[in-house]
Structure 1
């Protein structure tokens, strides 16, 4: 119901903007409240709290409008480029999706914001490449996330299980759960259908993973086929829940429908929203490599941008807000209310497990691997998400799926360096 209402409101706004008025633009005026459109409708409460804090600290309020359907959200933002209904701020993705709208000259240059934040110690230089296109920075980190496995601690305790430190131990855990009629893992056929592909690929051959994202390798290469065969092996073993199950993954973990859910550290917010206690009700561990001979454990990493339009109604106000967003003052609130990690190195993470993984990730202990969603060019990603969605319901189709994705990849890379 909420999703439908949001979609109707979004479309109505676009139509009114396209058809109304006499073509004359109203004179620009200084804003005291900014709109923030986002694809994280479940986080409205936290965005609201940030709006209250920003009003108090910098005199700029912020009103969020959240979508829960990614495709509808992306369509609305792209439509806003052509109308007078423009967000002051909006969330997006790094990688090919950000590059696409930067090339269209739709996104405000934030190079000066980055320079100031790095100098002040509010942002790490290591993050800058994810936001750099043709030597300039665009947007700022709305969040950062490190991927691992959330697990139901009560289920683990009941069956005498501990967080695994090797792949063989993880399989032993899954097998023990299976013998006790408990599904080990969550997976889905929609949107996040890529999760186990990226995890297995990164844990088996991270170099191949990187080459795949740049067109230097093919989805039909033997190493990629082996990843799909390993994935099929796990599905055939009966470790996963039904991929068509529409239960929210937060509820899946809480009610024990699956003992483990692989997501970014942002998923911790789903736990806190369900009044689950870290260390008592659930825990988090780094997923071990499948290939034990790799020099470092591969950890999936992502950073979601908070952006401003190049032609914002009040560019000065929008950039002022983005600058404030990077500060420890703002990030302390943003991280602690959601129970998540922060892009600002000065912010101390209260959750022991998440705090430790944040420190470890910055210490060089892990090989950080860019999340598949950002690492893969949009046309190939679309084909891959559809393909992986088919595969989890028809595991025997993996070769056909890889051939279909590679066909899209061949077409894309033939016109892109």
Structure 2
């Protein structure tokens, strides 16, 4: 199974021992690196990056992509104990990265960050997401800002415009409902958390942050109210069947739902379907539920590209990670996928995404760490299961919150 270039399992989806210190670096031995990732659909783009890196720095890269997140994580963790080890691998920030850093499995990248920030290739705003114990680990494989992709032809057909307030969004949903069009996509697997994070961050982002650090409970009134709001949207008939297995890219293209909430990386799904931004589809920032908030809350994520502490060729791994942050590499990476970039020097061709990227970098929005990264892994597991149950049984929300809180109590009783 692990020999294949793309491992499809069907459900959805370093450097020196201490980069900043100590002994001399060993010379590079490898001419091609393996990059294991949980983005099997992006194999084409990883291949293009491997060809460019071979030409640019004499170091190629061969991707092995998974589409099942749980199987991928199991493989990476197993590689810590076996001889089947990736040179490079993708991961998540937050608790999942901290977990494997504490196990001393991830190579430090502090000096790469220092050099990249000085060169203007990485922003200091990203650094905290990669900092554990005062040191940096991995580099940004990608960044993404979350909002709403919408089928522009459906909007045009019914005279709809991108909403500026939450009330506007509900009016759009009501108009679509009257015309027998489902407004929103949601799912009971993996991305079951999307509407929870959006509603909570757009209602009370401080509560959202406290929840992620154990300073608030899932049974607190503000969280209960968010679940009731979510339930009211489901009860209103705005969503498609959460058990629908149609790829969300096809959901939007075919009009099964008029709107899909995802990170800017979803733009790749649109370009893969030969759809044109501004003509076939477009993107808007989701308005706050609470209009009194001083800034619009925007969900943000950044996916790390990492290497192991005991990699086969630390010098080659480091060379590749350094190159990945450069404008040359990021221009190719962003342009090929039609996405945004972690490198501030890279211009974004898509007008809507370019505006969002510029505004997010200027402080216009309150950036909120994506729930998947902000939540400790044991709590996240319980929450994903709980939200998956909720979207199919909306009346179970209190039971779901109680179950998630039990997992949170257990976790935070042993973690500060």
Could you tell me how far 1:2 is from its partner in structure 2?
A: 12
Report the counterpart of residue 131 of structure 2 in structure 1: 132
Distance in 1 (alpha carbons) for counterparts of 2:148 and 2:242:
18
Report the counterpart of residue 241 of structure 1 in structure 2: 240
After superposition, residues 228-377 of structure 1 pair within 5 angstroms as: 228-377=227-376
Could you tell me how far 1:29 is from its partner in structure 2?
A: 7.5
Distance in 2 (alpha carbons) for counterparts of 1:210 and 1:178:
34
Asked if structure 1 preserves the Cα contact closer than 8 Å seen for 2:8 and 2:67, the reply is no
Q: 1:301 to 1:212 in 2, by over 3 A?
A: same
Q: 1:151 to 1:161 in 2, by over 3 A?
A: same
Report the counterpart of residue 196 of structure 1 in structure 2: 195
Q: 1:164 to 1:2 in 2, by over 3 A?
A: farther
Three-state SS of the structure 1 residue aligned to 2:305 is strand
* Structure richer in helix, relative to its length: 1
Runs (4 or more) in structure 1 with deviation over 3 Å come to 1-9
**Normalized against structure 2, the TM-score is what?**
0.94
Q: What are the Cα deviations for residues 23-79 of structure 1, in whole angstroms up to 9, with x where unaligned?
A: xxxxx9810000000000000000000000000000000000000000000000000
The Cα RMSD (Å) is 1.7
Q: Which runs of 5+ in 1 are unaligned?
A: 10-27
Report the counterpart of residue 227 of structure 1 in structure 2: 226
Report the counterpart of residue 170 of structure 2 in structure 1: 171
Could you tell me how far 1:110 is from its partner in structure 2?
A: 0.2
Asked if structure 2 preserves the Cα contact closer than 8 Å seen for 1:3 and 1:67, the reply is no
Could you tell me how far 1:8 is from its partner in structure 2?
A: 9.5
Report the counterpart of residue 104 of structure 1 in structure 2: 103
Deviates most, 28-37 or 343-352: 28-37
Asked if structure 1 preserves the Cα contact closer than 8 Å seen for 2:201 and 2:368, the reply is yes
**Normalized against structure 1, the TM-score is what?**
0.94
Distance in 2 (alpha carbons) for counterparts of 1:200 and 1:36:
35
Distance in 1 (alpha carbons) for counterparts of 2:412 and 2:250:
40
Distance in 1 (alpha carbons) for counterparts of 2:260 and 2:204:
22
Q: 1:373 to 1:3 in 2, by over 3 A?
A: farther
Distance in 1 (alpha carbons) for counterparts of 2:289 and 2:214:
24
Asked if structure 1 preserves the Cα contact closer than 8 Å seen for 2:218 and 2:401, the reply is yes
Q: 1:311 to 1:116 in 2, by over 3 A?
A: same
Could you tell me how far 1:239 is from its partner in structure 2?
A: 0.1
Three-state SS of the structure 2 residue aligned to 1:303 is strand
Q: Which runs of 5+ in 2 are unaligned?
A: 10-26
Distance in 1 (alpha carbons) for counterparts of 2:32 and 2:243:
41
Three-state SS of the structure 2 residue aligned to 1:90 is strand
Distance in 2 (alpha carbons) for counterparts of 1:276 and 1:65:
27
